[in-house]
Amino acid sequence: MKEKCIFCEISNGNIPSKKILETENVLALLDVNPVSEGHTLVIPKKHYENIFDIDKEILKEISEICQKLSNLFKEKLKCEGVNILNASGKVAQQSVFHLHFHVVPRYSNDKLNLWFHQEANKNIDLNKVFNKISNIY
Protein backbone atom coordinates (compact mmCIF):
# COMPACT_ATOMS: atom_id res chain seq x y z
CA MET A 1 0.00 0.00 0.00
CA LYS A 2 1.28 3.44 -0.93
CA GLU A 3 2.08 5.76 1.95
CA LYS A 4 -0.31 8.68 2.45
CA CYS A 5 1.00 12.10 1.44
CA ILE A 6 1.14 14.37 4.49
CA PHE A 7 0.59 17.52 2.41
CA CYS A 8 -2.45 16.02 0.67
CA GLU A 9 -3.80 15.10 4.10
CA ILE A 10 -3.25 18.70 5.28
CA SER A 11 -4.82 20.24 2.18
CA ASN A 12 -7.82 17.90 2.52
CA GLY A 13 -8.30 19.03 6.12
CA ASN A 14 -7.45 15.64 7.66
CA ILE A 15 -4.45 17.03 9.54
CA PRO A 16 -4.69 20.42 11.29
CA SER A 17 -2.33 23.22 10.28
CA LYS A 18 -1.70 26.91 10.85
CA LYS A 19 -2.96 28.24 7.51
CA ILE A 20 -1.58 31.66 6.63
CA LEU A 21 -3.16 31.96 3.19
CA GLU A 22 -5.43 29.76 1.10
CA THR A 23 -6.70 29.98 -2.47
CA GLU A 24 -8.54 27.51 -4.64
CA ASN A 25 -5.23 25.94 -5.74
CA VAL A 26 -2.61 26.81 -3.12
CA LEU A 27 -2.12 26.61 0.63
CA ALA A 28 0.47 28.43 2.75
CA LEU A 29 1.00 27.14 6.27
CA LEU A 30 3.49 27.55 9.07
CA ASP A 31 6.17 24.85 9.05
CA VAL A 32 5.84 22.68 12.17
CA ASN A 33 9.66 22.54 12.37
CA PRO A 34 10.57 26.18 11.75
CA VAL A 35 14.15 27.37 11.32
CA SER A 36 13.12 31.02 11.74
CA GLU A 37 10.15 33.03 12.93
CA GLY A 38 7.53 32.85 10.17
CA HIS A 39 9.01 29.86 8.29
CA THR A 40 6.16 28.93 5.94
CA LEU A 41 5.48 26.17 3.44
CA VAL A 42 3.65 26.94 0.20
CA ILE A 43 2.07 23.90 -1.45
CA PRO A 44 -0.33 23.19 -4.29
CA LYS A 45 -3.53 21.62 -2.97
CA LYS A 46 -3.52 19.07 -5.78
CA HIS A 47 -0.73 16.51 -5.59
CA TYR A 48 2.25 17.28 -7.78
CA GLU A 49 5.43 15.45 -6.91
CA ASN A 50 7.89 18.18 -7.89
CA ILE A 51 8.77 21.08 -10.18
CA PHE A 52 8.87 18.75 -13.18
CA ASP A 53 5.18 17.86 -13.21
CA ILE A 54 3.31 20.89 -11.85
CA ASP A 55 0.86 22.86 -13.96
CA LYS A 56 2.57 26.11 -14.94
CA GLU A 57 -0.40 28.30 -13.96
CA ILE A 58 -0.41 26.85 -10.44
CA LEU A 59 3.37 27.33 -10.27
CA LYS A 60 2.86 30.96 -11.25
CA GLU A 61 0.29 31.33 -8.45
CA ILE A 62 2.72 29.74 -5.97
CA SER A 63 5.40 32.23 -7.01
CA GLU A 64 3.03 35.16 -6.52
CA ILE A 65 2.06 33.84 -3.07
CA CYS A 66 5.74 33.49 -2.11
CA GLN A 67 6.20 37.17 -2.98
CA LYS A 68 3.06 38.16 -1.06
CA LEU A 69 4.23 36.25 2.01
CA SER A 70 7.70 37.79 1.76
CA ASN A 71 6.22 41.27 1.84
CA LEU A 72 3.91 40.29 4.70
CA PHE A 73 6.84 38.97 6.74
CA LYS A 74 8.88 42.11 6.04
CA GLU A 75 6.01 44.27 7.28
CA LYS A 76 4.67 42.21 10.20
CA LEU A 77 7.70 40.25 11.39
CA LYS A 78 10.30 42.88 10.48
CA CYS A 79 12.49 40.37 8.63
CA GLU A 80 15.29 41.83 6.54
CA GLY A 81 15.30 39.21 3.79
CA VAL A 82 13.92 35.81 2.80
CA ASN A 83 15.12 32.54 1.35
CA ILE A 84 12.69 30.72 -0.92
CA LEU A 85 13.80 27.11 -1.17
CA ASN A 86 12.65 24.04 -3.10
CA ALA A 87 14.14 20.59 -3.58
CA SER A 88 12.80 18.60 -6.54
CA GLY A 89 13.87 14.98 -6.79
CA LYS A 90 15.52 12.58 -4.40
CA VAL A 91 19.05 13.50 -5.54
CA ALA A 92 18.20 17.15 -4.76
CA GLN A 93 17.38 16.11 -1.18
CA GLN A 94 13.59 16.27 -1.57
CA SER A 95 12.20 14.51 1.50
CA VAL A 96 8.43 14.97 1.07
CA PHE A 97 7.36 14.09 -2.45
CA HIS A 98 4.63 16.70 -2.78
CA LEU A 99 5.93 19.91 -4.32
CA HIS A 100 6.54 22.56 -1.68
CA PHE A 101 8.45 25.78 -1.25
CA HIS A 102 9.91 27.01 2.01
CA VAL A 103 9.65 30.76 2.57
CA VAL A 104 12.20 31.43 5.32
CA PRO A 105 12.27 34.94 6.80
CA ARG A 106 15.81 36.07 7.58
CA TYR A 107 16.99 38.31 10.37
CA SER A 108 20.32 39.90 11.25
CA ASN A 109 22.41 37.51 13.34
CA ASP A 110 19.98 34.58 12.88
CA LYS A 111 23.04 32.34 12.30
CA LEU A 112 21.25 30.37 9.57
CA ASN A 113 23.32 29.20 6.63
CA LEU A 114 20.91 27.94 3.99
CA TRP A 115 23.17 28.49 1.00
CA PHE A 116 25.68 26.29 -0.81
CA HIS A 117 28.20 24.69 1.54
CA GLN A 118 30.85 23.77 -0.98
CA GLU A 119 33.12 25.44 -3.49
CA ALA A 120 32.30 25.76 -7.15
CA ASN A 121 33.07 22.78 -9.39
CA LYS A 122 35.99 23.98 -11.52
CA ASN A 123 35.59 21.01 -13.91
CA ILE A 124 32.37 22.32 -15.42
CA ASP A 125 32.88 23.78 -18.90
CA LEU A 126 30.42 26.70 -19.14
CA ASN A 127 30.64 26.79 -22.94
CA LYS A 128 29.59 23.13 -23.23
CA VAL A 129 26.72 23.62 -20.81
CA PHE A 130 25.61 26.77 -22.62
CA ASN A 131 25.63 24.99 -25.98
CA LYS A 132 23.51 22.15 -24.57
CA ILE A 133 20.77 24.38 -23.14
CA SER A 134 20.89 27.76 -24.89
CA ASN A 135 18.15 27.12 -27.49
CA ILE A 136 15.22 26.57 -25.13
CA TYR A 137 13.07 29.44 -26.43
Told to judge if 100 belongs to the known catalytic residues of this protein, a careful annotator would answer: yes
Across 8-32, average pLDDT = 96
Which has more pLDDT, 2 or 110?
Answer: 110
Q: Of 23, 24, 4, 22, which is closest to residue 14 (Cα–Cα)?
A: 4
Q: Please tell me the predicted confidence (pLDDT) of residue 74.
A: 98
What's the pTM value of the predicted model, to 2 decimals? 0.91
User: CA 76 from chain center: how many Å?
Assistant: 21
Is 95:102 a contact under the CB 8 Å cutoff?
A: no
Of these residues, 98, 100, 102, 117, which one is catalytic? Answer: 100
Q: What is the pLDDT of residues 90-131, one digit of tens each?
A: 999 999 999 999 999 999 999 999 887 778 888 989 999 998
List 104's β-bridge partners, or say none: 83
Q: Is the pLDDT of residue 2 over 60?
A: no
| Helix or strand (DSSP H, E) at 69 | helix 56-76
Q: Of 82, 92, 103, 129, which is closest to residue 28 (Cα–Cα)?
A: 103
Q: Please tell me the predicted confidence (pLDDT) of residue 107.
A: 97
Percent of the chain whose predicted confidence (pLDDT) is above 90: 81
Interatomic CA distance for residues 85 and 133, integer angstroms = 23
Q: Of 72, 58, 50, which is closest to residue 26 (Cα–Cα)?
A: 58
Q: Is the pLDDT of residue 21 over 70?
A: yes
Sheet holding 19-22, edge to edge: 19-22, 26-30, 40-44, 101-106, 81-85
Domains along the chain with CATH numbers? 6-133 (3.30.428.10)
Interatomic CA distance for residues 107 and 15, integer angstroms = 30
Neighbour-count burial of 79, counting CB atoms closer than 10 A to its CB (0-12 exposed, 13-18 middle, 19+ buried): buried
Q: What is the pLDDT of residues 24-65, one digit of tens each?
A: 999 999 999 999 999 999 999 999 999 999 999 999 999 999
